[in-house]
A and B are shown apart, each in its own frame.
Chain A
Amino acid sequence: AQRVTQPEKLLSVFKGAPVELKCNYSYSGSPELFWYVQYSRQRLQLLLRHISRESIKGFTADLNKGETSFHLKKPFAQEEDSAMYYCALSGRGGYQKVTFGTGTKLQVIP
Chain B
Amino acid sequence: ETGVTQSPTHLIKTRGQQVTLRCSSQSGHNTVSWYQQALGQGPQFIFQYYREEENGRGNFPPRFSGLQFPNYSSELNVNALELDDSALYLCASSSPPSTETQYFGPGTRLLVL
- Chain A residues proximal to chain B, CB less than 8 Å: 4, 6, 9, 32, 34, 43-46, 49, 86, 88, 90, 92, 94-103
Contact = CB atoms under 8 A, between A and B. Distances in A.
Q: Which of B45, B102, B107 has the most CB of A within 10 A?
A: B102
A64 to B, nearest CB: 20
Interface stretch (B10-18, B48-56, B67-75, B78-86): B48-56
DSSP majority for the A interface? loop
Contacts of A96: 56, 99-100
Contacts of A99: 45
B58 A44 contact: no
B42 interface: yes
B20 interface: no
B48 A97 contact: yes
Contacts of B99: 94-96
A22 B54 CA distance: 33
A46 B101 contact: yes
Nearest to A44: B104
A43 B48 contact: no
A100 B40 CA distance: 12
Contacts of A95: 48, 50, 55-56, 99
B56 A98 contact: no
B58 A46 contact: no
Contacts of B65: none
Given A102-B40, A103-B42, A97 B58 contact: yes
Nearest to B35: A100
Contacts of A90: 100
A97 B45 contact: yes
Nearest to A94: B99
Contact of A44 (B41, B43, B50, B101): B43
B44 interface: yes
A100 B58 CA distance: 12
